[in-house]
Amino acid sequence: MKNIMTLGATLVLTLSAFASNEEGTTRYKVDGNASSITWHATKVTGEHMGTVNVTNGVISVTDGAMTSANVIADMSSIACTDLEGEWADKLVGHLNSDDFFNVSEHKTSSFLLRNIVPLAEPSKGATHTVTGDFTIRGITQSVTFEANINDNNGALSISGSVVLDRSQFDVKYGSGSFFDNLGDNLIHDNFTVGFNLVAQAQ
């Protein structure tokens, strides 16, 4: 999307959650260095992709079930991986501008867990259906998607992807939801945010 998010935009996504003192509850801290967020956007004439850094996050698991999670991403870290040099710099500068994510005013994006349900029959690498609130440009929208969640001896891993509609977050540039007759300048509203989060029990 000459221009995004993801998990997804979000994408900098930081996890923030409430630590619980309840018996049977384990608090996990997301490792930003070991975690990653990717974005992939398309337009009539091509596509762009890149990354956003995870700055921090907290997840709570009670009796084996995830009960809270809040992930935060650093939007100022947004990068393009399919271009190099001047072209990459121009794209990233545009993504940072008010045409897209207005990073000077909205330095982070976030995800807050609302509901999570195990799949009766895990498929395509997914184990759960997740519903949560993505906040981008200060606008919050609820989205449901599938994710793969595993707990291996105190190390929690969460991976998957989610499709977000940038028009719902007031990202207007080149959008057919806001402008007519864009022709080859049309940038598709939907973009994909991929995520691979690693968290350690505290």
Per-residue model confidence as pLDDT tens digits over 98-133: 999 999 999 999 999 999 999 998 877 899 999 999
Q: What's the pLDDT band for 11 if we cut at 50, 70, 90?
A: very low
Global pTM value: 0.86
Angular region, 169: left φ>0, alpha ψ -120 to 50, beta rest: alpha
Per-residue pLDDT for 86 more than 80?
yes
Q: What angle (nearest 5°) sits at the alpha carbon of residue 196, between those of residues 147 and 134? A: 65
pLDDT the model gives residue 22: 57
DSSP helix/strand/coil, 128: strand
Name the one residue in this structure whose structure tokens are 């994510």.
101
What average pLDDT does this structure show over 88-96?
98
Among residues 66, 72, 67, 68, the alpha carbon closest in space to that of 52 is found at 72
Q: Which two tokens mark 126?
A: 């997914």
CB 11 within 8 A of CB 39: yes
Pairing between strand 187-201 and 65-80? Answer: unpaired
What percent of the chain stands above pLDDT 90?
A: 83
Q: Which two tokens mark 159?
A: 């991976």
Burial class (CB in 10 A: 0-12, 13-18, 19+), 103: buried
DSSP state of 90: H
